Structure 1
Amino acid sequence: MFPSLLELHLSDCLVESAKVPLSLQKINFTSLSVLELSNNFFNTSSFPNWLFNLTSLRKLDLSWNSFSGPFPGELASLKSLEYLDLSYLGLKGRIPRVIGNMSKLKFLSLRGNQFSGEKIEEFFWSLSNYPNNTIALESLDLSYCGLEGQLPASLGMLKSLKHLHLSLLLLWGSIPESIGNLSSLQTLEVFGSYRNGSIPESLGKLSELVTLHLSWNSCEGFLTEAHFTNLTRLKDLRIFKDEIEKPMCPILNVAYDWVPPFKLHNLHIIHCKVGPGFWIMLQSQTELVDVSLSNTFISDSIPKEWLSKISSQVKYLDLSYNNLSGRLPLELKFPNLQYINLGHNQLEGPLPLWPTNVFSLDLQSNLFSGPIPSNLDQLMPKLGYLVVSENHLNGTIPLSICNMKDMEVISLRHNQLFGEFPQQWSLRSTIRIIDVSHNNLSGNIPSSMGMPCSLRTFKVNNNNFSGEIPFSLQNCTSLIILNLGGNKFTGNLPLWIGSNVSTLEVLQLQSNLLSGHIPHHFCNLPHLQVLDLAHNNFSGTIPKCLKNMTCLVEVNDACQGFTFYGDYYGKTTITSKGKELEYGDDKLAGWGNMIDLSSNNFAGEIPEQVGSLLELSMLNLSMNRLTGEIPSSIGKLRWLETLDLSHNQLSGHIPQNFSSLTSLSHLNLSHNNLIGKIPSGNQLQTLDDPSIYEHNPSLCGAPLSTVCPTDDTKTGQTFPAEDHSKDDKEGFWFYVSMALGFIIGFWAVCGTLVLKESWRYAYFNFFDNVKEKVALTIGLKVARWQGRL
């Protein structure tokens, strides 16, 4: 009802679709030229029809809502429209050709929609072949919208185009030579789109190009000097290659003496092999601010001259995953440097001293040696991210590290550090991740460790720590990963696990001296995906409440992967399939979902509720004192890859439905009292190692050599094998007793009559008297019967 209203901005205002009518009987704000409704809560299948009557509209922004219907062709009626942003609306179907009739349109973004399977050739045809179209487009963003096909030559007709974004589409073939006609182009982004093809040398004609962002998955797509001939304004160059595919050919291949015509500010080349002349070319780039050359197969020492030339501007330096060697200068003057990553190289010597402005320092997986400076808090007071794991550092952890108020990540794993853990952690500490695993540290974990309530990951495994698990850790209510394994901790399971702290996703307490029962409230860990209590002295029964661990029962939004801080991912060792396997924490979610209670003193039966843990991939209950039968519910665990129930006192048959465990690749049921025929079929057919079932005397069938004598094929029921040696013994004694009975009975009567004459006369005289009495009785009966007749 505001006829004079020219602009209406309602972005990020929590407006719900129910509050916006789809139709209006009367519209008075037809003078409106700008309408912004982005990032609200619209969730309808169609656009409000009154939008199409705003004929004065020049700018329309509906991005980051959910209309989820087809692209509205009626938008073509808004002839004055110059700016149209329909990003992330969930639009489906086809893009109507009438969009080519929007002749004044300068900005168009269809980013993040769902035009899956639609051809990108048809879209560009509509722009270049619609009648009376002057093609005024200056910015076009089709990234992440599902278009596929090959870029047509008609792309070169968009001569007003300044910004072109085509990331994460499914494109094939080469970029057309006509791209060289886009003389006004400033931004070209085709990251993650092409599966093959090449980059034309006409790219070198784009003299206005400032940003070039390419991702190529084919060896045909390499760049040479010709691609950069006239790119004098280029400031941002980013070239990525698929990390999975090995970069077997050079992606950036230039001559040794080539001097590029540009001075880059941002250079990102990741997972791409650069040519031998690249390092020389790089030394000419003295205005770099943001540098990332990760996994580029550079094998050399870092030129000190180059470091000194770029030192005044550079803020971000990433040379990780190469083969850089040698020693760095002990003192480097980078006044603006904030982030440095030289991890996964062959650098050696003592830890270099960096400028006081550095926030993030990553030197992991190198050959650095010597101690960590004791005055680290003075040398690098702003340090918040310290990762020097997998080196040869020795000495103690400096006490000054406790006073660094900005410290958020400390990773010192796999070094040769010794001594006690720092004791006096500051109450104001913002520490989120501590990983000191695989060292020679000893003593107790200080109670002050529970004071930084922001702690999310705490790993001290594989050291020599002792004492009880500190009660103060109950204050860390956001704890996600807790790994105390491989130490000498004593006492019971802490009562705060499952009560005060219920956020745990990974809990590893293996290989300690812990004892006692598992309390019932321990099951109140709905996010838990890795539970390892192996090699302790726990007793009692396995709790039935394990089914309360929701993420082991079903997948939901809270179980999509472990939560980390920033871009730090540590490593976790898991014993699976009889081997110790090390996973990056970012990969653990795909291989985790495990319970290991092996090598304890658990007794009683395996609870039937274990079969509720449908997302379980590894279950190890071996080396306990478990009794009873194996629950048939285990056969429902469709993702189970490892099952170890060996070295217990289990009895009964192996459940027939074990043949339904189609993911099973490691099975061990040895050293029990199982009986009957081993089930067969499906995945079990491939597990043909007899040691899986050894030391179960009453088991039979393949892969064991013991043949089952009976097999009821109608019911599928199997019976234990008969003990033939026992039957033979019983038959022998049966016949012996028969013979003895005959001999004793015969000679007891007949022998007496033969030897004693008086007994013999009396015996036969008795039978004569009986015979006469019987004959007289029969005669009398016959006479009476005849008299009656």
Structure 2
Amino acid sequence: MAVSAFLWFLFFFFFFFFFFFFFFFFFFFFFFFFFVIFVDGQCLDDQKKLLLEFKSELVHNSSTSHSFVNWNETGDCCIWGGVGCDNSGRVTDLNLNDEGISGVIGESSSLFRLTYLSNLDLAFNDFTTSEIPNQFHRLPNLAYLGLSYSGFVGPFPSTLANLTALVRLHLSSNFLTGSIPSFHTCKNLKFIDLSHNKLVGSLCHLHFLSLTNLTRLDLSYNSLNGTIPRHLFALPSLDDLDLSNNRFSGKIEEFTITNNTNLRQLDLSSNRIGGHIPNFFFQNPNMYILRLSDNLFNGSFQLNKIRSLTSLSELALSNNNLSVETTNMSLSSGGYPYLSTLHLSSCNLYDFPNLENLSLLHTLDLSNNHLRGDIPGWIWETAKAYLNLSFNLLTGLQKPKYVAGIPNSGDFAIFLGNNRLTGAIPSFICDASPFGVLDLSFNNLSGSIPPCLINKSFVSEVLNLRGNKISGVIPDRFSIECGLQTFDVSNNSLVGKVPKSLENCKSLVVVNVGNNNLEGSFPCMLPLSLRILLLRSNRFHGGLGCRKSWPNLQILDISSNNFSGSVKLLKFERNDAMESYKWIEVKLVKIWPDFTAIDLSSNHFRGEIPDAIGNLTSLYLLNLSHNSLTDAIPRSFGALTELGSLDLSSNKLTGRIPDELAKLTFLSVLNLSYNHLTGMIPTGPQFQTFSADSFRRNTRLCGFPLDRSCNSPHVPVPTPSEPKDEEIEWGYVFAASGYVVGIGIVAWTLLCCRRWRERYFGKIEEVVDKIFYERGRRRRHERRVRRREERRNGLRRHHH
């Protein structure tokens, strides 16, 4: 019994010992990992205070803000949206991207007292009245600064170059001015994006010389000038260099690359760089994208140089002064294996480069060259997304070897405009899969429009057949799936009406059927998406009555037709219950609020000019000439501050020219001639620049620039006197009766006596012959004298 009791004692002893041991261990573990760590990660009071002060300095849109709007006095600031802290509770990250924030960040902002901040992102906010403060040097730990797309203005802050810990700098798409400081002390920088600003000045060799870690430098879309330092091309870690769309000039100095650089993407397009293309561009086998278009590079360039760039995917040499030689190109040994994009526009090409069987090529631009003859059949199987052969001397299209090889993606864009293509549109085009864009404009194509181009949305976005000799009617086969955005068949010989099925194209933006022989009434069925409508020089007729509006319409040209009707001002208040609009032009305020051009000239419109046109504040061109419009020019035209051209000539307008027109300082073209305007021409800086032709044939206008002074005395017009009750003067009555009787006797004699009648008219013929003979003889004599005088003057000028 004693032994068993002792064993039970030992059992309970060790049980409670291990129980208390594990309980103590568990308590210690919980305290350390939950309580201690929780306390260490909790936001410090001074950090919370600074964040709330920063919030109070700015304005935010509560409907778009998701994080910033919820900052308040309660809770741990380290768990606020967009806030990150270190283990000590100090704020290190602020990610307020696209939070609807606006206002001004002042030089004394509490932001600059968050000295442990390493990542700051304020991109996609609205600081359009704010300059970037010069206090960022007070944030010594800042490694990421994102201020892109935030509307900052003013000079580029030079103190950013003092942030030695900076790794990524994003300041693109603002309105920054001034020059770029030297970043040679920021040795940790890997990414710099200053694109889409207004920066000026040149780059010196010190700007980025010591940035051995820099992988991307984007200075595109600024106004930087001078020559490009060649050391930029040799930075050891640089992968992407974009200096496009600036004003860089001069030549790029040639040098030998001793070590292979990592430069894979180089974009120097849209500058003023001249000289020969440097050879060292083609010594880097890692080059993936090379864009040199829109510069002043000159000389001859052998296209087979790109064979050394075994990774090259895109080459752009368009619009320089180059003569590209393609005769030595060879596709043997797997040349150009990754080439997918080739731009050789305006490169003085006379022959097609040998690009057959390039399996990855999808974009080819050979426009504006001297290519002639037929378009080779292999090109249909090569360019699979974009083909531009416009502005050449091409005359025909070869049929592709394999119809199945024609691109089968619906977004394929083909541009063959401004060539010399003849005959009907080839039928094999209809055997291909749908196109996104088909441009055959300004050729000599004839025949009719193939129904396949219309049916089943064969062309999904743009169909341009402008400037050919195409005849017949427009096929009425636009399907319900039509996604066409631009439909242009202008300057042809089409007849018939605008097809009603065009209403199926719900995304239609541009319709141009001008300069044809189309007829019918105004095409009211066109979709609401319409922005540009050109019906000029056809045979359309009738009024403009429609039961719907086009809220996005910006350009309307219906000139030189037979449209008619009144444009007299009616009510312009919004009336949603109105069942129809009697005249489209009457409801301009509601229907076309964003107009930039209206041309209703050379029709038969009558009545007053709608006063509501003055509410179209975006209007640039207004032409109402050659109609029968009456009454005064609306004073509301003074509100058209963007108006550059106004033509109201050849109407029946009356009254004075409104003084408000003299306030239109943007107006460069004015024609008020051939009306019945009166009074003094308004004076103003812009009005003083117009010639007398702008006001001719308004006989009661006066003042500059006409030679009629408004201060000259007018000849008084006699006023009719009051009628008097006087006796009839019978003497005048008898005299008038004598004249009547005498004329009657002569007329009766000539009518009844044939012999007298023949002799009478014979004498008249003799007199007429003499008159016209003498006049003709004098005119012939004057012409001979004039010609002799012109010959003498010509000989004198030749001797001089």
Distance 1:624 1:173 in 2: 57
Question: Do the aligned residues in 1 keep the contact of 2:132 with 2:157 (CA within 8 Å)?
Answer: no
Structure-2 residue corresponding to 1:526: 551
Where 1:659 maps in the other structure, the secondary structure is helix
Taking a change above 3 Å as real, the CA distance of residues 58 and 491 of structure 1, as seen in their structure-2 partners, is same
**5+ unaligned residues in a row in structure 2: which ranges?**
1-33, 42-62, 570-583, 730-800
Question: Do the aligned residues in 2 keep the contact of 1:76 with 1:102 (CA within 8 Å)?
Answer: no
Distance 2:679 2:90 in 1: 84
> What are the within-5 Å matches in structure 2 for residues 523-672 of structure 1?
524-542=549-567, 544=569, 546=585, 548-549=587-588, 593-672=596-675
Distance 1:20 1:693 in 2: 61
Question: Do the aligned residues in 2 keep the contact of 1:224 with 1:254 (CA within 8 Å)?
Answer: yes
Structure-1 residue corresponding to 2:749: none
Structure-2 residue corresponding to 1:414: 442
Deviations 1:563-606 (A, max 9, x none): xxxxxxxxxxxxxxxxxxxxxxxxxxxxx822111221222232
Question: Do the aligned residues in 2 keep the contact of 1:184 with 1:208 (CA within 8 Å)?
Answer: yes
Where 1:180 maps in the other structure, the secondary structure is coil
Distance 2:180 2:659 in 1: 57
Distance 1:708 1:19 in 2: 67
Distance 1:58 1:252 in 2: 50
Taking a change above 3 Å as real, the CA distance of residues 142 and 637 of structure 1, as seen in their structure-2 partners, is closer
Where 2:153 maps in the other structure, the secondary structure is coil
Range moving further from structure 2, 357-366 or 190-199: 190-199
Is residue 267 of structure 1 aligned with residue 293 of structure 2?
no
Is residue 292 of structure 1 aligned with residue 331 of structure 2?
no
Taking a change above 3 Å as real, the CA distance of residues 657 and 286 of structure 1, as seen in their structure-2 partners, is same
Which of residues 414, 421, 424 is equivalent to 1:393? 421
Where 1:647 maps in the other structure, the secondary structure is coil
- Alpha-carbon RMSD across the aligned residues, in angstroms, is 3.9
Structure-2 residue corresponding to 1:767: none
Question: Do the aligned residues in 1 keep the contact of 2:350 with 2:369 (CA within 8 Å)?
Answer: no
Which of residues 347, 368, 385 is equivalent to 1:359? 385
Deviations 1:432-483 (A, max 9, x none): 1111110111111111135442111111101011111111111122211111
1:87 maps to amino acid: A
Distance 1:101 1:680 in 2: 59
The percentage of aligned residue pairs carrying the same residue is 30
Taking a change above 3 Å as real, the CA distance of residues 65 and 200 of structure 1, as seen in their structure-2 partners, is same
- TM-score by structure 1 length? 0.72
Structure-1 residue corresponding to 2:194: 166
| C-alpha displacement of 1:318 | 1.6
Deviations 1:526-574 (A, max 9, x none): 21111111111111112645364459976xxxx5xxxxxxxxxxxxxxx
Where 1:392 maps in the other structure, the secondary structure is coil
Distance 1:19 1:158 in 2: 31
Taking a change above 3 Å as real, the CA distance of residues 181 and 672 of structure 1, as seen in their structure-2 partners, is closer
Structure-1 residue corresponding to 2:101: 67
Structure-2 residue corresponding to 1:189: 218
2:441 maps to amino acid: R
Structure-1 residue corresponding to 2:733: none
1:388 maps to amino acid: L
Where 1:202 maps in the other structure, the secondary structure is helix
Structure-2 residue corresponding to 1:341: 365
Deviations 1:302-323 (A, max 9, x none): 3451677754211111222x23
Where 2:102 maps in the other structure, the secondary structure is coil
| C-alpha displacement of 1:187 | 2.1
Distance 2:340 2:172 in 1: 29
Distance 2:690 2:237 in 1: 64
Question: Do the aligned residues in 1 keep the contact of 2:655 with 2:677 (CA within 8 Å)?
Answer: yes
Question: Do the aligned residues in 2 keep the contact of 1:119 with 1:148 (CA within 8 Å)?
Answer: yes
**5+ unaligned residues in a row in structure 1: which ranges?**
7-13, 38-47, 129-134, 560-591, 712-720, 741-789
Distance 2:681 2:464 in 1: 45
Where 1:346 maps in the other structure, the secondary structure is coil
| C-alpha displacement of 1:270 | 2.8
Which of residues 457, 468, 474 is equivalent to 2:497? 468
Distance 2:563 2:239 in 1: 64
Taking a change above 3 Å as real, the CA distance of residues 73 and 292 of structure 1, as seen in their structure-2 partners, is farther
Taking a change above 3 Å as real, the CA distance of residues 378 and 439 of structure 1, as seen in their structure-2 partners, is farther
Distance 2:518 2:167 in 1: 66
Distance 1:148 1:684 in 2: 36
> What are the within-5 Å matches in structure 2 for residues 373-452 of structure 1?
373=399, 378-382=404-408, 384-402=412-430, 404-424=432-452, 425-427=454-456, 429=458, 431-452=460-481
Question: Do the aligned residues in 1 keep the contact of 2:363 with 2:383 (CA within 8 Å)?
Answer: no
1:503 maps to amino acid: S
- TM-score by structure 2 length? 0.71
Distance 2:680 2:266 in 1: 66
Is residue 23 of structure 1 aligned with residue 72 of structure 2?
yes
Taking a change above 3 Å as real, the CA distance of residues 124 and 462 of structure 1, as seen in their structure-2 partners, is same
1:546 maps to amino acid: E
Taking a change above 3 Å as real, the CA distance of residues 359 and 23 of structure 1, as seen in their structure-2 partners, is same
Question: Do the aligned residues in 1 keep the contact of 2:241 with 2:266 (CA within 8 Å)?
Answer: yes
Taking a change above 3 Å as real, the CA distance of residues 159 and 656 of structure 1, as seen in their structure-2 partners, is closer
Distance 2:413 2:323 in 1: 27
Which of residues 169, 189, 192 is equivalent to 1:140? 169
Deviations 1:66-107 (A, max 9, x none): 33353875587584x76554433446555565666554x554
Distance 1:635 1:389 in 2: 42
| C-alpha displacement of 1:289 | 0.5
Question: Do the aligned residues in 2 keep the contact of 1:292 with 1:319 (CA within 8 Å)?
Answer: yes
Question: Do the aligned residues in 1 keep the contact of 2:95 with 2:121 (CA within 8 Å)?
Answer: yes
Structure-2 residue corresponding to 1:774: none
> What are the within-5 Å matches in structure 2 for residues 623-772 of structure 1?
623-689=626-692, 691-708=693-710, 721-722=714-715
Range moving further from structure 2, 664-673 or 532-541: 664-673
| C-alpha displacement of 1:332 | 1.7
Structure-2 residue corresponding to 1:232: 261
Distance 1:19 1:455 in 2: 43
Distance 2:227 2:421 in 1: 46
Is residue 206 of structure 1 aligned with residue 264 of structure 2?
no
Is residue 332 of structure 1 aligned with residue 356 of structure 2?
yes
Which of residues 483, 493, 503 is equivalent to 1:454? 483
Where 1:350 maps in the other structure, the secondary structure is strand
Taking a change above 3 Å as real, the CA distance of residues 656 and 283 of structure 1, as seen in their structure-2 partners, is same
Taking a change above 3 Å as real, the CA distance of residues 608 and 178 of structure 1, as seen in their structure-2 partners, is closer
Deviations 1:284-341 (A, max 9, x none): 4343102222322222343451677754211111222x23221215872210011112
Question: Do the aligned residues in 2 keep the contact of 1:343 with 1:362 (CA within 8 Å)?
Answer: yes
| C-alpha displacement of 1:283 | 5.3
Distance 1:631 1:151 in 2: 52
Where 2:231 maps in the other structure, the secondary structure is helix
Distance 2:373 2:441 in 1: 18
| C-alpha displacement of 1:671 | 3.0
2:320 maps to amino acid: T
Taking a change above 3 Å as real, the CA distance of residues 51 and 88 of structure 1, as seen in their structure-2 partners, is farther
> What are the within-5 Å matches in structure 2 for residues 274-289 of structure 1?
274-276=297-299, 279=302, 281-282=305-306, 284-289=308-313
Question: Do the aligned residues in 2 keep the contact of 1:120 with 1:150 (CA within 8 Å)?
Answer: no
Where 1:122 maps in the other structure, the secondary structure is helix
Q: May I ask how many residue pairs the two structures share in their alignment?
A: 640
